[in-house]
């Protein structure tokens, strides 16, 4: 099925040993078939710009490259934005 290639990309800005990030991934578990999760480790040298931007805010989520939420998963907001992106594709 080609629909799988059109899944929205949810980017998680994270780092090693991030309990809030682990918690956020658990909260998102029921939705995981509806998006592709891309994790960005902000502590890697190539991600220093993200580190400067988000070092005090992780987890931070972007949906299809646009800022969505930070610190905790906002389920109503997430569902709303995910639905909008799905309708566009």
In this structure, whether the domain defined by 9-88 belongs to CATH 3.40.30.10 is answered with yes
Mean model confidence pLDDT for the chain? 94
The answer to whether the CB of 38 falls within 8 A of the CB of 63 is: no
pLDDT digits (tens, 9 = 90+) for 21-53: 999 999 999 999 999 999 999 999 999 999 999
**Mean per-residue pLDDT for 15-26?**
96
In this structure, what is the dihedral angle of CA atoms 71, 63, 26, 20, given to the nearest 10 degrees? -20
Q: Which pTM was predicted?
A: 0.91
pLDDT of residue 5: 66
- Does 2 or 76 have the greater pLDDT score? 76
Mean pLDDT for the stretch of residues 48-62: 98
Is there a contact between 9 and 63 (Cβ–Cβ < 8 Å)? Answer: yes
Residue ranges of the alpha helices (H) in the chain? 19-28, 48-54, 75-88
- Residue 7 CA: distances (Å) to CA of 11, 20, 31: 12, 25, 12
């Amino acid at each position: 099925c080609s629909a799988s290639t059109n899944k929205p990309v949810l980017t998680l800005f994270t780092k090693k040993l991030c309990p809030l990030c682990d918690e956020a991934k658990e909260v998102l578990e029921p939705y995981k078939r509806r998006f592709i999760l891309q994790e960005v480790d902000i502590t890697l040298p190539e991600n220093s710009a993200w580190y400067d931007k988000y070092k005090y805010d992780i987890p931070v989520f972007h949906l299809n490259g646009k800022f969505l939420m930070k610190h905790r998963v906002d389920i109503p907001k997430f569902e709303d934005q995910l639905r909008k992106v799905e309708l566009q594709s």
